[in-house]
């Protein structure tokens, strides 16, 4: 059998041809892209509004009241009824001091008072008897004086008529003088007894004992120390068994509703505000803004700071805010000039890499737009660049959005 010289190459070519055809992947069928699910959002239009300008400051929150409580007299702490952070009502017992010595002092003062009262009663009885005796003696002396006076007059008449010797007349006149002296002495004794000098001394003793008793009772009462205000316990500086003095507070109470912020304004700035003007207090730690009120303005400049101190009252009904938190103040004076501006809700603006952005909605597409902001109020912010009047911006749902993403507009809550 004769073999063709082309047989093998032809077979190889055929094999390669078949292999090449069968080795190619079949063309993939065109795939249909899945539809992107829209992100639910809430929107708000950009409006024209008047946002007054205001000065910005930094300050710290402080309690509106702080009371350092120590005993009026030193003593050993017997009970301590509060702990750090506890809220107490006005009049609640904070701590007590040992009362044994104080009770003994009260008992001694009571006994001394009773002795003084008894002495006064006895003095009154003795004085009444002395007055009665002096009164009787005075009456008797007066009668003797009148008798002597009558006898002396009669004796003088008889002597003048020559019916009585001179010696007898002189005796009658001397008797009159003696009777008069006795009568005057009796009057002095009666007046002295009537003044009740013994009673006066006894009454002074009673008054002194009464004061001592009141003082002892007050010291006993002061050993129970109560809260002078309602507030939180900010400090506890003692322990049961320790000696509490009047120099170091045992308990410190603070009232944190409302809180205060103190700021210092320049000569130019102080003329633009008044008591009652509103302010915005921003707490970066809580990401929160609160409306507050200027409640005090110093009439004189602080010579060291060369500024005028003011106080701002910040409501804190839920006690969320704490003393010493740093706050940013935006003082909105009544005289601040309000400018018409494009404004959107503050919550529409978010920060990213140090820049401010919003999502603007066009049709059903959200576009991420960089914006330049201006003045702020409690709920609005001025947009100087990036948003025009009437354009819609996303105010809820931004965290789920991306630039160019579809949105589904939800109704406002």
pLDDT in tens, 113-154: 777 777 656 655 545 666 667 677 778 878 888 988 898 898
Q: What is the mean pLDDT of residues 385-395?
A: 95
Q: In which band, very low, low, confident or very high, does the pLDDT at 174 lie, cut at 50, 70 and 90?
A: confident
Cα-based angle 246, 251, 254 (whole degrees, multiple of 5): 125
The pLDDT value given to residue 263: 87
Provide the residue range defining the domain that includes 161.
102-219
Q: Does pLDDT of 336 surpass 80?
A: no
Q: In which band, very low, low, confident or very high, does the pLDDT at 14 lie, cut at 50, 70 and 90?
A: very low
The pLDDT value given to residue 164: 82
DSSP 379: S
Q: What is the mean pLDDT of residues 249-266?
A: 93
Strand-pairing partners, residue 382, are 343
Reported pTM: 0.53
> Is 188 inside any structural domain?
yes
Q: Does pLDDT of 10 surpass 50?
A: no
Q: How many whole angstroms separate alpha carbon 270 and alpha carbon 394? A: 39
Q: Do the Cβ atoms of 408 and 41 come closer than 8 Å?
A: yes
193 in the same domain as 106: yes
Query: Closest Cα to residue 260, out of 305, 295, 297, 300?
Result: 295
- 38-51 residue pLDDT tens: 999 999 999 998 76
Q: What is the mean pLDDT of residues 333-362?
A: 84
The pLDDT value given to residue 23: 45
The pLDDT value given to residue 3: 39
DSSP readout, 299-313? Answer: SS-BTTTTBEEEEEE
332 in the same domain as 379: no
- Residue 364, C-beta contacts closer than 8 angstroms, at least 6 positions apart: 38, 406, 407, 408, 409
202 in the same domain as 236: no
200 in the same domain as 141: yes
The pLDDT value given to residue 11: 36
Q: How many whole angstroms separate alpha carbon 259 and alpha carbon 256? A: 5
Our count of domains for the chain comes to: 4
The pLDDT value given to residue 186: 76
The pLDDT value given to residue 102: 81
**Residue 330, Cβ neighbours under 10 Å: how many?**
21
The interaxial angle of helices 100-160 and 197-222, nearest 10 deg, is 170
Q: What is the mean pLDDT of residues 387-396?
A: 95
Q: Does pLDDT of 32 surpass 70?
A: no
203 in the same domain as 147: yes
Q: How many whole angstroms separate alpha carbon 80 and alpha carbon 318? A: 27
Q: What is the CATH number of the domain that holds 345?
A: 2.40.420.20
């Amino acid at each position: 059998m004769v073999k063709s010289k082309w047989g093998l190459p032809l077979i190889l070519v055929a094999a390669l041809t078949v292999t090449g055809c069968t080795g190619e992947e079949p063309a993939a069928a065109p795939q249909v892209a899945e539809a992107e699910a829209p992100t639910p959002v809430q929107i708000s239009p950009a409006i024209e509004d008047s946002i007054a300008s205001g000065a910005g400051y930094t300050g710290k929150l402080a309690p509106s009241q702080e009371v350092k409580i120590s005993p009026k007299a030193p003593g050993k702490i017997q009970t301590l009824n509060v702990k750090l952070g506890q809220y107490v009502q006005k009049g609640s017992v904070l701590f007590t001091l040992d009362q044994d010595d104080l009770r003994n002092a009260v008992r001694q003062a009571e006994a001394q008072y009773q002795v003084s009262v008894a002495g006064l009663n006895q003095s009154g009885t003795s004085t009444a008897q002395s007055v009665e005796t002096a009164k009787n003696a005075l009456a008797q002396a007066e009668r003797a004086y009148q008798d002597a006076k009558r006898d002396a007059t009669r004796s003088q008449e008889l002597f003048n008529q020559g019916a009585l010797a001179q010696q007898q007349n002189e005796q009658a006149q001397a008797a009159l003088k003696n009777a008069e002296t006795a009568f005057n002495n009796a009057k002095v004794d009666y007046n002295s007894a009537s003044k009740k000098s013994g009673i006066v001394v006894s009454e002074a003793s009673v008054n002194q004992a009464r004061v001592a008793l009141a003082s002892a009772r007050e010291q006993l009462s002061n050993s129970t120390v109560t809260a002078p205000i309602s507030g939180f316990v900010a400090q506890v500086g003692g322990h049961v068994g320790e000696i509490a003095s009047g120099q170091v507070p045992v308990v410190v109470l603070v009232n944190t509703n409302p809180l205060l912020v103190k700021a210092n304004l320049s000569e130019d700035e102080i003329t633009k505000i008044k008591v009652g003007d509103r302010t915005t207090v921003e707490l970066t730690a809580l990401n929160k803004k609160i409306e507050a009120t200027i409640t005090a303005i110093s009439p004189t400049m602080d010579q060291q700071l060369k500024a005028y101190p003011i106080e701002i009252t910040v409501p804190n009904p839920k006690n969320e805010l704490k003393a010493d938190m740093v706050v940013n103040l935006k003082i909105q004076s009544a005289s601040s000039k309000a400018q018409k501006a494009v404004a959107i809700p503050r919550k529409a603006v978010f920060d990213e890499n140090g820049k401010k952005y919003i999502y603007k909605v066009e049709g059903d597409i959200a576009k991420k737009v960089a914006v330049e902001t201006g003045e702020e109020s409690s709920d609005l912010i001025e947009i100087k660049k990036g948003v025009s009047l009437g354009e819609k911006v996303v105010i809820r749902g931004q965290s789920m959005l991306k630039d160019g993403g579809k949105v589904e507009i939800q109704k406002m809550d």
